[in-house]
Structure 1
Amino acid sequence: MKNILFGLCLVAFAANAQHKDYPIQPVSFTDVKLTDQFWSKRIEVNRTVTIPASFARCENTGRVKNFEMAAAKSGKFCTKYPFDDTDIYKTIEGASYSMQVHPDPQLDHYVDSLIAIVGKAQEPDGYLYTARTIDPLNPHPWSGSERWVKENELSHELYNSGHMFEAAAAHYLATGKKNFLNIALKNADLLVETFGPGKRHVAPGHEIVEMGLVRLYRITGKEDYLNLAKFFIDERGKRTYDKSNPDEWKNGMYWQDDEPVTDQTVAEGHAVRAMYLYSGIADVAALTGDKQYIKAIDTIWNNMVGKKIYVQGGIGAIPDGERFGADYELPNATAYNETCAAIGNVFWNQRMFLLHGDSKYIDLLEKVLYNGLISGVGLDGKSFFYTNAMQVTDGFTHNSLEPQRSSWFECSCCPTNLVRFLPSLPGYIYANRGDKIYVNLFISSTATLQIDGTPVQLSQQNDYPWNGGLKISVNPEKAKEFDVYVRIPGWAKNDAIPLDLYHFQTTNTEKYTVKVNGKSVKYELQNGYAVVKHKWTKGDQIELNLPMPVRKVMASSNLPNDKDKVALQRGPIIYCAEWTDNTAKVDAMAVPLNANLQPVFDANKLNGITELKGEVLNRGSKVPFTAIPYYSWANRGKGEMQVWFPTK
């Protein structure tokens, strides 16, 4: 307990030492308790199935053995990629978040034993990278003959450090222990000694070290870490590339390294790298006040959301390089949509909201979260998608990607990324700024926070995303006047997505309503939030009713693959049709614009879903039709799946 209190005091001290930060602060996941039927099940499966399975895979695939051999300085690196170290880090991060909510002495002991193995693999000066340390004379072929010489491309030395920093920070904040944190700080100090003005220069090949350094800065208040994060960002665009070469590996775009970040205007290159970079830029911008950074990521966000995102929130359309394509290059048959890119997209949009306070960022975060992110893990918690297809014909995708889930991958970044993300979800629900409380996600939960020194408890009880009748209880310790900002989702205001890449076929005329204690109230709509001003007392309740008709989504004329087609949406959920629910082949069915599709809840199907049922056309004849939430496909075997349907 003393360690936890010491840790919280240290964090508070570091925060007070910082003069700038995000104007809006998230309510920490440690201060939010979930009671949500939809999410609690997933997080519990993550705790009881996914985390143990991930640790087991790290052991039986040789990932743990790599650290043991590095400690012994003997053996041969026994997995495929030099970033395989991060699968252990990410699983420790997820386990740490989980243990904070569900204390588990056995898991705690096991995690400590892994941290001890990691610590023994660290070299005396702080270097930690098993792909070289095991046998420095014969390192992994991606690693280069010396430290850091291939960092701007494929060595992933700083990528490994970044994930270690993220995991060590989470472990420290969740447990109060410094065993992992000390390893991370030793490595971070080595980076400070190695890189910077007058030292070695490099633009990290796979970003995330920037985010990780900021995490350590927040804990320690050591400005060297923040300065180094900014240095790495500012090094982009300084390397000489053949800018005329269309190959993104050779012109620098693949690494987001073709121009200085303040000159970049489009989402480019490897999608996961891009999301981590833009998230790191947002962090550093918030802490330094760099307005050029903010202008750059604002411009890039508009490009991605207006021209480079799929209807279910997926990004990174192109399999070759796991990368963004050109503007409006969003083919369905060969869509890539890496799960890690979806997770990175949530990271970035959360930060954009904290910078700007606009609900459009949470609208996009919600779209990604309920669709293209959780589609990456099966309902069993131990089967995964690395990529997230938009259509599967005759049981196969058109680009050799997996049409069915897998228990693991040689490159297993996505399963372990899900492991660390899911238990951190409570930290995305609420935020506050002074005397303003933001309710961003409609997830049943109870949060505790303070408004000008007055403790306030905020709780939600709802059946979202299936039902739009929402209740938010506001319980201050004593009567207190403050503002509650309740997000009115874009889909409830007839916006299929921020900007205009997709739109609803028709306008829903049924309006949302906001009440306090059963009575309609005046409110101001500000940046997509209903601002409810009130002198709150215990037992006060906000009621938000969001009508949830079935909507047909249509695409911009700039997307020829989706011409004369519709996708289906209800509330935040995008739907698809799957082979097992339909007698006709899903790619032979047409959904007319006047098709009447009705929501039907089935508690016994796919862990409980609202499906859409009605009649559509198959070669001119009416046939029964069932659509299921996109996230739930491929949980019942291998077969056809479709998101976009021709209208005739």
Structure 2
Amino acid sequence: MVGCKTENKIDAEEATTATDTGYNIQPVDIQHVKVTDAFWLPIIKRVQEKTIAYAIAKCEEEGRLDNFLIAGGKMEGEVKGEMPFDDTDVYKIIEGASNSLISAPNQELETVLDSLVNIIKVGQETDGYLTTWRTINPAKPPATWVKTPKGVRWDGLFMSHELYNAGHLYEAAAVHYKATGKRNFLDIALKNADLMVDTFGEGEGKIQAVPGHQIIETGLIKLYQITGKEAYLDLAKYFLDNRGNPDNHELFGAYSQDHVPVVEQDEVVGHAVRAVYMYAAMTDIAAIKKDSLYAAAVNNLWENMVNKKMYVTGGIGARHDGEAFGENYELPNLTAYNETCAAIGDVYWNHRLHNLYGDVKYFDVIERTLYNGLISGLSLDGTNFFYPNALESDGVYKSNRGSCTRQAWFDCSCCPTNVIRFVPSIPGLIYSQSKNTVYVNLYASSNADINLGSETVSISQETAYPWNGKVNFKINSNSGLTVKFRVPGWVRNEVLPSDLYAFADTYNGKPTLSINGEQVYASVKDGYFEVTRNWKIDDTIELNFPMEVRTVKANENIEDDQGKLSLEYGPLVYAVEEVDNENIDAITVSTSDEFTVKKESTLEGVNTISNETLKAIPYYAWSNRGVNKMKVWLPETK
């Protein structure tokens, strides 16, 4: 634990999870993983050292913090800000900062969080209710699209975001509790959750309804896992069970995935962020309850998304209208939405699916999303952001929240604060464990201590991934143990685990595995190099995934990508920017083109791809050098 012992703190043993998660595989927690990686550590530190402070200042500037004080009568005034979910920006900052505290204890930051928690507490009503705009002026929401004809609590749940606010509160409080052992924020969340249990569900006097924007479900499940209180789990399942149930409430429709019951849904539709948050909760229920109907539904939904509705960058959500999934194969480039929050939610969902099934395909999606369509949402200076992540820019097209250039903030600032929430948790994706098996999911220089019950296994990993595919491990164990090293999808000649995209050329590389300096024959089994042996102290493993520039073609049903190719190198999708290519609109590529890969100092050190007609940079790094044209998909040479 970090910080000083106070009466509001509890012992470390009491802070452990109270209930089993229900998952067969457990991620190795970030408190046991120290990242030393030259690619990921600077991104994590940028968020820790710059973006968190920047976002807190923005929240102060735009009145996010004042709203709690106004709601609690400590300040005078009307609601500040334009969104009914502005409270959640503060919660997400606390969650990200708490994840940061787990891996990098910082007394000054912990003190800042205590002050934020104290401000939040001021805005909570005596019965636990906490949505500041409704407390300040129940009949006057900050956004005109929030319809509240009665002007009271819970009126207009489709867009009031009262339950969404609660969900982010619970998520943040759970992480803060884990990071500090303090109950100050957790008690605020539990008081609110108890109000929800008393207010919603079956029974006399209770409201039968579901949230318009999902996330309260996963938040309630996290509180259940901390406290063991079944009522939280029951309410989460109630909210899911009654989506698409017209006998329960007036349906919100496909926009909110409230058109048919969740167990009957087999196509990803509507608002993409709402969708993946809901699918994550459904996966939790499938795991905890061993619910085969929920499991079948999430599998069907995942198959539809990965086979028909995912961009080559791992982004999801084709339409600006409704921030929504489009029809099957509707994947435009210039007008692609690909909200950063949706990419983050998709990683959360796929991580749960891997915890449930252990299938390599889920981390193939996670890796593609992480390196491309997710970190593209954060600038290299840590203070500018993408809300949508388009795959083409003409330097002109703009939506209501930008497309052709990064912005310093947004009226709806969910994406910047979600990046803060997510990035410090990345170390928790690298390794997983199950009984006597360790999974190596991602390749990033790191040291991990993994408790398998009978012993603690230490693993150190050194690599320059994603710039090359050589990875070295030292494994300290004195017993029999299975280690499963994921062979990335691009090495197995898969763009995605579907036919949505395919490599247009032949991969000449062969992945290899060596133990203590001797190359051994090892076939790829279910996407893994699987090594079972009686380990000795300082046993070494060397993996090599040779990287080549690859060309990618899209499924014939994706209209915008026909007659075009995209470029990849290892896990990275590449893009051409006008700043490097004066005649960008004249560029064409061929499957037979020869490329040069060069490590450069530009853009904080990237591998560029070039030939006589083009120079390409990793997609995630575009729009860090001013407004200019950009393309991922390039016309194929005729």
Q: Could you state the TM-score of these two structures normalised by the residue count of structure 1?
A: 0.94
Quote how far apart the aligned CAs of 1:61 are. Answer: 0.4
Aligned match for 1:192, one of 179, 193, 197: 197
2:227 paired residue number: 220
2:270 paired residue number: 269
1:642 paired residue number: 631
2:184 paired residue number: 179
Distance 1:139 1:83 in 2: 10
Distance 1:315 1:123 in 2: 38
Distance 1:292 1:384 in 2: 39
1:440 paired residue number: 441
1:612 touches 1:627 (CA, 8 Å); kept in 2?
Answer: yes
1:246 paired residue number: none
2:535 paired residue number: 536
1:417 paired residue number: 418
Instruction: Indicate how the Cα distance of structure 1 residues 645 and 139 shifts in structure 2: closer, same or farther if over 3 A, else same.
Output: closer
1:309 touches 1:315 (CA, 8 Å); kept in 2?
Answer: yes
2:237 paired residue number: 230
- For each residue in 1:330-369, what CA deviation from the matched residue of structure 2 results, as whole angstroms up to 9, or x when unmatched? 1112111100001011111101111110010000000000
Give the AA of the match of 2:61: N
Distance 2:101 2:399 in 1: 40
What SS class does the counterpart of residue 530 from structure 1 fall into? strand
Instruction: Indicate how the Cα distance of structure 1 residues 81 and 399 shifts in structure 2: closer, same or farther if over 3 A, else same.
Output: closer
- For each residue in 1:20-42, what CA deviation from the matched residue of structure 2 results, as whole angstroms up to 9, or x when unmatched? 61000000011100100101101
1:104 paired residue number: 106
Instruction: Indicate how the Cα distance of structure 1 residues 407 and 591 shifts in structure 2: closer, same or farther if over 3 A, else same.
Output: same
Quote how far apart the aligned CAs of 1:62 are. Answer: 0.7
Two-structure CA RMSD over aligned residues (Å) = 1.9
What SS class does the counterpart of residue 154 from structure 1 fall into? helix
Quote how far apart the aligned CAs of 1:384 are. Answer: 0.3
1:620 paired residue number: none
1:146 paired residue number: 152
2:393 touches 2:403 (CA, 8 Å); kept in 1?
Answer: no
Give the AA of the match of 2:566: A
Quote how far apart the aligned CAs of 1:425 are. Answer: 0.5
Give the AA of the match of 1:647: E
2:564 touches 2:635 (CA, 8 Å); kept in 1?
Answer: yes
1:11 touches 1:220 (CA, 8 Å); kept in 2?
Answer: no
Quote how far apart the aligned CAs of 1:398 are. Answer: 6.5
State how 1:25-104 maps to structure 2 within 5 Å: 25-72=26-73, 74-104=76-106
1:93 touches 1:171 (CA, 8 Å); kept in 2?
Answer: yes
1:26 touches 1:428 (CA, 8 Å); kept in 2?
Answer: yes
Deviates more, 1:542-551 or 1:508-517: 508-517
Quote how far apart the aligned CAs of 1:137 are. Answer: 5.0
Unaligned runs of 5+ in 1: 243-248, 617-624
Give the AA of the match of 1:111: L
1:319 paired residue number: 320
Instruction: Indicate how the Cα distance of structure 1 residues 571 and 13 shifts in structure 2: closer, same or farther if over 3 A, else same.
Output: closer
Quote how far apart the aligned CAs of 1:522 are. Answer: 4.7
State how 1:500-515 maps to structure 2 within 5 Å: 500-515=499-514
Quote how far apart the aligned CAs of 1:402 are. Answer: 2.9
1:627 paired residue number: 616
Distance 1:201 1:543 in 2: 57
Distance 2:429 2:11 in 1: 22
Quote how far apart the aligned CAs of 1:516 are. Answer: 1.2
Instruction: Indicate how the Cα distance of structure 1 residues 563 and 197 shifts in structure 2: closer, same or farther if over 3 A, else same.
Output: same
1:11 touches 1:218 (CA, 8 Å); kept in 2?
Answer: no
2:208 touches 2:248 (CA, 8 Å); kept in 1?
Answer: no
Distance 1:408 1:188 in 2: 31
What SS class does the counterpart of residue 544 from structure 1 fall into? strand
Distance 2:520 2:262 in 1: 45
Distance 2:17 2:103 in 1: 24
State how 1:407-556 maps to structure 2 within 5 Å: 407-476=408-477, 479-523=478-522, 525-556=524-555
1:599 touches 1:610 (CA, 8 Å); kept in 2?
Answer: yes
Distance 2:328 2:11 in 1: 46
2:154 touches 2:160 (CA, 8 Å); kept in 1?
Answer: yes
Distance 1:469 1:5 in 2: 44
Give the AA of the match of 1:577: V
What SS class does the counterpart of residue 470 from structure 1 fall into? strand
Distance 2:292 2:523 in 1: 28
Distance 2:533 2:554 in 1: 41
What SS class does the counterpart of residue 493 from structure 1 fall into? coil
What SS class does the counterpart of residue 42 from structure 1 fall into? helix
- 1:610 paired to 2:610: no
- For each residue in 1:419-451, what CA deviation from the matched residue of structure 2 results, as whole angstroms up to 9, or x when unmatched? 110001111100000000000000111111122
1:589 paired residue number: 587
Distance 1:483 1:206 in 2: 41
Distance 1:289 1:26 in 2: 19
2:597 paired residue number: 599
Distance 1:301 1:552 in 2: 25
Distance 2:116 2:64 in 1: 11
Distance 2:404 2:606 in 1: 22
Give the AA of the match of 1:607: E
1:36 touches 1:444 (CA, 8 Å); kept in 2?
Answer: yes
Distance 2:9 2:195 in 1: 28
Distance 1:12 1:88 in 2: 25
2:15 touches 2:181 (CA, 8 Å); kept in 1?
Answer: no
Give the AA of the match of 1:236: R
2:397 paired residue number: 397
> What is the aligned length?
625
Unaligned runs of 5+ in 2: none
Give the AA of the match of 2:153: R
- 1:202 paired to 2:209: yes
- For each residue in 1:456-513, what CA deviation from the matched residue of structure 2 results, as whole angstroms up to 9, or x when unmatched? 111100001001011121112xx11010010001100111111110000122132101
Instruction: Indicate how the Cα distance of structure 1 residues 186 and 399 shifts in structure 2: closer, same or farther if over 3 A, else same.
Output: closer
1:316 touches 1:338 (CA, 8 Å); kept in 2?
Answer: yes
Give the AA of the match of 1:645: L
Quote how far apart the aligned CAs of 1:181 are. Answer: 0.5
Quote how far apart the aligned CAs of 1:571 are. Answer: 0.5
Quote how far apart the aligned CAs of 1:520 are. Answer: 2.7
Distance 2:10 2:528 in 1: 37
Quote how far apart the aligned CAs of 1:13 are. Answer: 6.0
2:30 touches 2:102 (CA, 8 Å); kept in 1?
Answer: no
Give the AA of the match of 2:14: L
What SS class does the counterpart of residue 446 from structure 1 fall into? strand
1:621 paired residue number: none
What SS class does the counterpart of residue 317 from structure 2 fall into? coil
- For each residue in 1:251-278, what CA deviation from the matched residue of structure 2 results, as whole angstroms up to 9, or x when unmatched? 7100000000000001110000001000
Distance 1:563 1:222 in 2: 53
Distance 1:520 1:35 in 2: 26
Instruction: Indicate how the Cα distance of structure 1 residues 293 and 26 shifts in structure 2: closer, same or farther if over 3 A, else same.
Output: same
Give the AA of the match of 1:643: V
Give the AA of the match of 1:396: V
- For each residue in 1:295-316, what CA deviation from the matched residue of structure 2 results, as whole angstroms up to 9, or x when unmatched? 0010000000000011111110
Distance 2:87 2:559 in 1: 42
State how 1:123-134 maps to structure 2 within 5 Å: 123-134=125-136
What SS class does the counterpart of residue 340 from structure 1 fall into? helix
Distance 1:238 1:13 in 2: 33
Instruction: Indicate how the Cα distance of structure 1 residues 9 and 99 shifts in structure 2: closer, same or farther if over 3 A, else same.
Output: same
Give the AA of the match of 2:618: P
2:18 paired residue number: 14
What SS class does the counterpart of residue 457 from structure 2 fall into? strand
2:96 touches 2:422 (CA, 8 Å); kept in 1?
Answer: yes
Quote how far apart the aligned CAs of 1:164 are. Answer: 0.5
2:10 touches 2:182 (CA, 8 Å); kept in 1?
Answer: no
2:384 paired residue number: 383
Give the AA of the match of 1:197: E
Distance 2:536 2:33 in 1: 20
- For each residue in 1:517-556, what CA deviation from the matched residue of structure 2 results, as whole angstroms up to 9, or x when unmatched? 1223354633311110111111111111001000000001
